[in-house]
Amino acid sequence: MLNGEKKLARPLRWAMVGGGRLSQVGYKHRSGALHDNTAFQLVAGAFDIDADRGRDFGVHLGLDADRCYADYRELFSRERQHEEGIEVVTIATPNGTHYEITKAALEAGLHVICEKPLFFTSQQAREVKALAAQKNRIVGVTYGYSGHPMLLQMRQMIASGEIGEVRMVDMRYTHGFSASDSADKFEAQKWRVDPAVAGPSFVLGDLSTHTFYISQLVLPELKLQSLLCDRQSFIASRAPLEDNAMVMMRYHGGAVGRMWTSSVDAGSMNAQQIRVIGSKASLQWCDWLPNELRYEVQNQPSQLLHHGMAYLDQAALAEDRLGALHTEGLTDAWANIYLRCALAIDAKNRGDETALANLIYPDIDAGLEGVRWVENCVRSADSGAIWVNYE
């Protein structure tokens, strides 16, 4: 159980690029990183594309005005000269900027925590992976939902054979907030449907990379062999970017899967779900009831496993904060991801590669795999929705 005691000798000096006053995701980073652990201390930032607004925002977060910078270049160069300069930076800007800012941060000797989808191409991700290795730095990726402890329970139950041999993986991440073109007037949506800023996809990158990572978290051994993706732009002005996609998958070893991702699932607030079906039983988790895991054994009454209960695996209990009596939510999940990233950074700083190898956190490979997933889906869809080998 986590109770706020420190896990690192001292908090890491942390800055943000993006995540400013009007951003959608900035607060999730701050509330996650600073939630209930002593791992991070926010000391600087370049929070906004509008330098004055970014500075004003930083001051209202309680930072020193002279550590609220106009842009990431000034942030990295000035902090390098500061005797207590930043050690790690979060990048929470629109997709098209992640690559150049991550590279600049690594070059400046910083650890990086970056938003998804990490980059536009897997080639970029491989290049940055090599750079991070050369600089001896961590790149973490904020697949925030993956921090819900019941997913570690799911991972452990699949690994210990409780559902038998895995046959099917059924995934969905949909909402209805882009069902009409009026959604595209908002700043946070405008760039999402512009390939120059969003990259080669809209919902595949924006939504399904989360669920795809969750599938890799709970099924680390399962590898994709081929897939078929069909993508649509129901709002025509969004073409070539899709607002809906359906993907069929074949895994090595014979298992199959499917993913439905959509922002035009009219009436849906937010529906992310993964169901893993084995030869004996199934496990199902959804992000609107994240404290529960449905366990259904053929010919037996179904069970709802609940967070914080003593019957759970130690890995799931270790990240519980509130106990079974109370509901945990997205902020707790983000706090777990941030804490895991902090532990990875700390292990890297201490040269403890064994500890690092034993940590489960969304690392550069997880970011790379998300980019690769999008690339393969787009290649299939744009070739006429055909089966393609997973490259």
Residue 144 within binding range of ligand NAD, rule CB under 6 A: yes
Residue 32 within binding range of ligand NAD, rule CB under 6 A: no
The least distance separating ligand NAD from the CB of residue 153, rounded to whole angstroms, comes to 21
Report how far residue 105's alpha carbon sits from residue 132's, in angstroms, rounded to the nearest whole number: 10
How many other CB atoms are there within 10 angstroms of residue 240's CB atom?
13
The least distance separating ligand NAD from the CB of residue 23, rounded to whole angstroms, comes to 3
Q: Out of 14, 40, 69, 72, name the contact with ligand NAD by CB under 6 A.
A: 72
Report how far residue 141's alpha carbon sits from residue 338's, in angstroms, rounded to the nearest whole number: 10
The least distance separating ligand NAD from the CB of residue 144, rounded to whole angstroms, comes to 4
Quick one: tokens of 322? 């509130």
Instruction: Using the rule CB under 6 A, give the single segment among 5-13, 46-54, 168-176, 321-329 that binds ligand NAD.
Output: 46-54
Report how far residue 139's alpha carbon sits from residue 371's, in angstroms, rounded to the nearest whole number: 14
Instruction: Determine how β-strand 244-251 pairs with β-strand 292-297.
Output: unpaired
| Polymer length of the chain | 391
State which residue, 23 or 380, has the beta carbon closest to ligand NAD. 23
Q: Out of 66, 187, 221, 391, name the contact with ligand NAD by CB under 6 A.
A: 187
The least distance separating ligand NAD from the CB of residue 113, rounded to whole angstroms, comes to 11
Residue 20 within binding range of ligand NAD, rule CB under 6 A: yes
Instruction: Using the rule CB under 6 A, give the single segment among 22-30, 60-68, 105-113, 158-166 that binds ligand NAD.
Output: 22-30
How many other CB atoms are there within 10 angstroms of residue 352's CB atom?
12
How many other CB atoms are there within 10 angstroms of residue 45's CB atom?
29
Under DSSP, is residue 296 helix (H, G, I), strand (E, B) or coil?
Answer: strand
Instruction: Using the rule CB under 6 A, give the single segment among 13-21, 121-129, 174-182, 296-304 that binds ligand NAD.
Output: 13-21
How many other CB atoms are there within 10 angstroms of residue 350's CB atom?
11
Under DSSP, is residue 303 helix (H, G, I), strand (E, B) or coil?
Answer: strand
Residue 25 within binding range of ligand NAD, rule CB under 6 A: yes
Q: Out of 2, 13, 15, 18, name the contact with ligand NAD by CB under 6 A.
A: 18
**Judged by CB under 6 A, how many residues of this single chain contact ligand NAD?**
25
State which residue, 155 or 175, has the beta carbon closest to ligand NAD. 175
> Among residue numbers 82 through 141, which ones bind ligand NAD (CB under 6 A)?
92-95, 97, 115-116
User: For residues 44 and 63, is the Cβ–Cβ distance under 8 A?
Assistant: yes
The least distance separating ligand NAD from the CB of residue 359, rounded to whole angstroms, comes to 19
User: For residues 215 and 171, is the Cβ–Cβ distance under 8 A?
Assistant: yes
The least distance separating ligand NAD from the CB of residue 49, rounded to whole angstroms, comes to 4
State which residue, 22 or 304, has the beta carbon closest to ligand NAD. 22
Instruction: Using the rule CB under 6 A, give the single segment among 19-27, 32-40, 222-230, 265-273 that binds ligand NAD.
Output: 19-27
Best CA proximity match to 196, nearest among 292, 110, 275, 94 = 94
Q: Sheet containing 139-141: which strands, arranged edge to edge?
A: 40-46, 12-18, 88-92, 111-114, 139-141
Instruction: Kindly give, in sequence order, each residue whose CB lies less than 8 Å from that of residue 91, ignoring residues fewer than 6 positions away.
Output: 17, 18, 97, 98, 101, 102, 105, 112, 113, 114, 115
Residue nearest to ligand NAD (CB): 20
Helix or strand run (H / E) with residue 213: helix 209-218
Q: Out of 37, 90, 122, 142, name the contact with ligand NAD by CB under 6 A.
A: 142
> First CA to last CA across the chain, in angstroms?
40
Instruction: Point out which residues bind ligand NAD (CB under 6 A).
Output: 17-20, 22-25, 46, 48-49, 71-72, 92-95, 97, 115-116, 142, 144, 187-188, 206
